Structure 1
Amino acid sequence: MKFKWIGFSAAAILSLGLAGCGGEETSGNTKQAEKSAQTETKTDEAKSENQTITYLNEQYEIPANPEKIVAASLEAMEDAAILGVKPIGAVTIGGELPSYLAEDLAGAESIGEKTQPNYETMLQMKPDVILGTSKYKPEVAEQLNKVATMVPVSHISTDWQDNLRLMAELTGKQDDAEDIISKYENDVTAAKEEIGDLLNDKKVVIIRVRAGNMYLYPSNVYLNPVLYEDLGIGVPAEVEAAQAQEALSLEQFAEMNPDYVFLQFEESENADKPKALDELQENAIFKSVNAVKNGHVFVNAVDPLAQGGTAWSKTKFLEAATESLAN
């Protein structure tokens, strides 16, 4: 009996010893488990602070309720302006915000010129999202995505509603965006009624002077959709044939012989030929076309830097075109 008691005591002591060691191990495991749980919680919280947005059938992960938006393209800047959004950064031209957007985007810090964004400046800003442009070269897009998720805002005019809704979704201004779209559609209807049949069998074109040369665009590019899709004006054969931005000689222009011309001239796009517009307007061949002879050439009816395929551009140009064409 005594032997059995001693054996029991030894077993008990051994058990207690193991329990003590196990207690230390259990405590360590508990702490490790708690630490892992905290890490997982933080990860889950981080995930919950992000959102996935879909834009033109592509998905982008960005912070939920982004407050620090960089408008790294004129397209994004125009959408910000019309929606009353204040981006923390925007592109500049000659070191300054474009004059036609300067008031609406006052306070935005320069991120560099529109063709040369400054990555270091944006890194310091720590943006939640960068709204760039689909015109970026792949290497530029790659660098920007290292700063923050970069959404390549489409420069295609027919994507204007998707572009506007993108900005609205990021900033909680969905109702404002729908109001802008609805108003534009109503204004188009009113404009068509005002213009009536005045433009039947008339050629209406938009010409852009860049680097001293005249260019025209396809019917679905730049400001053209306002004329040819929204207002239903006939598309000239020369515009129909254009595949992209195409140079137009004076002789070709005269042969086209348009009845109405919207002539866009921006100084920064003609830095090497600042007198190109004056020289064009004084040219005898230019003066020979119907639009010039009848006083139907409208220079910079909308700001020459207007990108064309945005709600801002379309709204402003529709107003100007209606006023010019209805008289």
Structure 2
Amino acid sequence: MPSSALLSRYSDLPQNGKIQATYVWIGGSGSDLRCKSMTLDFVPTSPSQLKEWNFDGSSTGQAEGHDSDVYLRPCAIFKDPFARGDNILVLCETYNRDGTANVTNHRAACAEAMAKVEAEEPWFGLEQEYTLFDVDDQPLGWPKNGFPGPQGPYYCAVGANKIYGRDIVEAHWKACVYAGVKIAGTNAEVMPAQWEFQVGPCHGIEMGDHLWMARFLLERVAEDFGIVVSFHPKPIKGDWNGAGLHSNYSTGPMRVEGGMAHIEAAIEKLSKRHQAHIAVYGADNEQRLTGKHETASISTFSYGVANRGCSIRIPRSVAQCGYGYFEDRRPASNADPYQVTRVLVETTILGVTDEN
């Protein structure tokens, strides 16, 4: 019997006034997720009611063995779709013993930037692409000794010969909705076994919180199915699409009549900091941003209306009505959303330049 089926035997047992709080944090690679749980005798309604905890940072690549304690500070609470009831998932920031943010804690700097631009009402919607693999490191559903047919039939497709992993995708969607994550939708992507979910619109720091929790839920759901999730931006070499974290962004002035002028001004600022953005837009992104497979070249900045081969895409509907948002197509699927959203507001609102 699968372990998930065995666990269901115990999921409805009474908890006698106790709840399970699972603390979730970003690990030492900056893209892996870790978790551990504690028992509480109350139901918290705010992260401030939860205690600071710690973990062995030398086992996650976040500290040295001689000084291994790294501290977990709760920053967001979500409902737990696995334990259910009053049980919760607690997203945490990581801090060193001297009170400084751990090297993989990019939330602290993001929160500081978002506090400065609150009046501009920055909104984000992130499109998270990912690829499903079986435990033999083979893309889910692909032939064991070959390749599927060329790309074309798989995007937003239906049918057992074109779609692999829909059960995982739909279970993840339901888990996100239950947890309170602002998941906006899902779709099958261009490469077979590759999918996308969207989170947003979210305001300010909320974007990073919800995207990271959505990633945790995806990996946790896939674990139950015995499937591995890859966020690598080019999981399969050759004539196959890569995976991105397309980032839709707007400010209050962009979303009202006359907003196109503000959109164009923001894009002009972005054009002058291309490499600074690329530096925080994910590892191995040069394998994806080649100018092929619906990407721009990593070495040049470009923008256009309805052009998925540009760095920045202005949706045609936005160009027609004259206000709205734009899409930054450069971030890789493994990029940290805290870094992506921070650098966008720093460049377009706070006026940070490479000379600052």
Q: Do both proteins adopt the same fold according to a TM-score greater than 0.5, normalized to the shorter chain?
A: no
Larger helix share, 1 or 2 = 1
Report the TM-score when normalising by structure 2: 0.26
Find the structure with the greater CA-based Rg: 1
Report the TM-score when normalising by structure 1: 0.27
